[in-house]
Structure 1
């Protein structure tokens, strides 16, 4: 890893989250990261905090990087990558796409057959080493590149491999979920404030509860229904709250939110 260069084509919020996560976890140093973006002065400011290097073009990133992370809006992917297709198809380089909706099949339409590509969808908690990287099961990486991909990301994200047809829904759950979870944290905190808790304390309690519940689920493999039942004593306080959530179609509302994104 000490000689690896990671390049970002596009350096928006998600790209910055990945870069921050990689540096904070000690996977790479800031000076091993290069990036380009539409507004160079803003890019210089964004890269300064971790010591990354701002470049002027996608071609410069492709020439400098061993791993090229395509982190632009989906409508820009072909426009930016097609002109540098030969550089991206270099044997010493592989591409990690984080563009929503982009699968290997779409890249195959404009990149040479020998290009090495893996398509993923990350989420923002990757910035603090608690992310998810939903990854398409089909890729064109070599075994060595696949191992490097794992080594690069496994310290900052759960790498969840899914079939190509499931990449969108997997990305929706992991990628949109932080917004819904944040709304839940905010609502719990508001309730705490309503009953007299200081807001900062209410936020910490709610956020840590969500973090811990997720960690317990991953560690134990217990289904969420069993975790809920373990907290719900007969006639107790928690089951009263659960019943109220059910009365307001809590689970149905969450499913409807996912359906709205996938429609």
Structure 2
């Protein structure tokens, strides 16, 4: 299978599916006219797909018929009702799931013989800078797995995890952007408080976050060592770090994950 000749079909075209489509378009990994999608509100779907150069389908059956690779991107509680009637057709196509809470075994029970891989991406896939948690267990053929891996790598970093860890990996990667966006907003507010224009504040903070993350990825340094490198004895940064410790910053992030996984 060749990615440039593969037609990708989205069952559901909400925020995550849209982000994936945008990522493939912006990176040139998949031509827009090789992607189709269906959604509940057809009129709105037509507008959103046309803006990208994609084709709108009336229902999931039309998507499955048109696609070489089917992406399940609907709400988890809708999957059984939407996919069960299409079991025979789906068993003939590779399936990539981006629905939280569903793993390969669960799909296999719903659609016997299904060839699938379950993932949890995050919204930065829209610019090819995402992280995609992927279940290590899958039922794709070797050729299909290679194609899907290539497609996902065009959207960002793929991290394979055991089935039991897919949920928490999806939580950290998928929900994390909301947590970091809150931190960006808060630091931006602090900059505005002291007179920096808001647009400049957000630009500075976002670049700082991006640069720090890229530095960690490039060097493999422990985050604690990176923090220590900025904290001079008796200096300004260590006073800020102490204030964050008093406010329970680390505990707050851990509790956020606990609130979702618990």
When normalised by structure 2's length, the TM-score is: 0.97
What is the CA distance between 1:12 and its match in structure 2?
0.3
Once the two structures are superposed, residues 81-134 of structure 1 have per-residue CA deviations (whole angstroms, 9 ceiling, x without a partner) of: 1111111111xx210000011111111111122x21000001000001110110
Within 5 A, what are the aligned runs for 1:168-207? 168-207=167-206
Once the two structures are superposed, residues 61-89 of structure 1 have per-residue CA deviations (whole angstroms, 9 ceiling, x without a partner) of: 11111111100000011111111111111
- SS of corresponding position for 1:112: coil
Residue 17 (structure 1) aligns with? 19
Residue 226 (structure 1) aligns with? 225
Counterpart-to-counterpart distance in 1, 2:213 and 2:52? 29
Counterpart-to-counterpart distance in 1, 2:109 and 2:4? 34
Structure 2, unmatched stretches of 5+, are none
Q: Which moved more, 1:239-248 or 1:78-87?
A: 78-87
The answer to whether structure 1 residue 57 and structure 2 residue 59 are counterparts is: yes
- Aligned residue pairs total 260
Residue 244 (structure 1) aligns with? 243
Residue 70 (structure 2) aligns with? 68
Once the two structures are superposed, residues 19-47 of structure 1 have per-residue CA deviations (whole angstroms, 9 ceiling, x without a partner) of: 00000100011100000011100100111
- SS of corresponding position for 1:141: coil
Within 5 A, what are the aligned runs for 1:1-263? 1-90=3-92, 93-113=93-113, 115-263=114-262
- SS of corresponding position for 1:109: helix
What is the CA distance between 1:193 and its match in structure 2?
0.3
Moved over 2 A (4+): none
Structure richer in helix, relative to its length: 2
Once the two structures are superposed, residues 144-177 of structure 1 have per-residue CA deviations (whole angstroms, 9 ceiling, x without a partner) of: 1111011112122110000000000000000110
Q: Which moved more, 1:246-255 or 1:230-239?
A: 230-239
Once the two structures are superposed, residues 205-245 of structure 1 have per-residue CA deviations (whole angstroms, 9 ceiling, x without a partner) of: 11111111111112211111111111111111111100000
Counterpart-to-counterpart distance in 2, 1:73 and 1:127? 19
What is the CA distance between 1:2 and its match in structure 2?
2.2
When normalised by structure 1's length, the TM-score is: 0.97
Structure 1, unmatched stretches of 5+, are none
